[in-house]
Amino acid sequence: MNIQPPAARARKTAMVLSAIAVAFAIAFGFAIRSWFAMVHGEVVSTLDGDGFAALYLVGALLLLLIAVLLRIFAGICELVWLERTWSNLPAEHRRVGPIENVTPVHIFGIAFIPVVAWFWKLALISAVANSLELVRKDLPFRAAVPRRLGVTACILGWLPPLNLYLAPFLWEMFARRIDVVCLELAALDQGLKN
């Protein structure tokens, strides 16, 4: 096996972007609440029709848009990490369902098909976990393969608002643990070559 180092920069970038997205989503919540209060009477008597409510609504929607865009970029970084992890698997294990020899084109291309992308990422996570367990038979390593954590992170990614507030952080935990497995495999592989 020729194991490349994990895509730690992509994983860390996804984490940072997700954390910033959460901050923008919380700011959106405060802004939309202020807008709602203005429109529904708490502050209406103090407004002289100068458009503050509209500004709060536009500001709130802008904050939400920024949060969504940040999560999209974080999702792309997660795919970059997943592609690197996938490339570390033995060639004979790179199969997902009926697709033989899944390539980076498959990983990224199918990930942008609406609805299918959810199930595709889940299938990739399962395939990575299964492959690493098969590799364990030939090249015993001690690190645990966090299959359930990856599946949980993926499934929570389907459920708003958990897809913003919880799933990215579970994904980070999953990715870190898979990176530990890959690093241990790289060390074992290097030891076998020497």
Burial class (CB in 10 A: 0-12, 13-18, 19+), 7: buried
Cβ neighbours of 136 (radius 10 Å): 15
Which pLDDT belongs to residue 51? Answer: 67
Which pLDDT belongs to residue 35? Answer: 86
Burial class (CB in 10 A: 0-12, 13-18, 19+), 132: buried
CA of 11: how far to CAs of 6, 38, 78, 150, 175, in Å? 9, 41, 6, 14, 7
Give, as one character, the DSSP assignment of residue 170.
H
Contacts of 2 (CB under 8 A, 6+ apart): 189
The residue behind tokens 């033995």 is 90
Amino acid in position 189: D
What tokens does 167 get?
Answer: 């799933």
Coil, strand or helix: which one is 48? coil
CB-CB contact of 17 with 74 (8 Å): yes
Which pLDDT belongs to residue 43? Answer: 56
Which value, to the nearest 10 degrees, does the dihedral of the CA atoms of residues 87, 122, 146, 14 take? 70
What tokens does 109 get?
Answer: 């291309």
Which pLDDT belongs to residue 71? Answer: 95
Which pLDDT belongs to residue 8? Answer: 95
Q: Would you write out the chain's pLDDT as a tens digit for each of its 194 residues?
A: 678 889 999 999 999 999 999 999 999 999 999 888 887 765 555 554 556 778 889 999 999 999 999 999 999 999 999 999 999 999 999 999 899 999 999 999 999 999 999 999 999 999 999 999 999 998 899 999 999 999 999 999 999 999 999 999 999 999 999 999 999 999 988 888 77
Cβ neighbours of 87 (radius 10 Å): 16
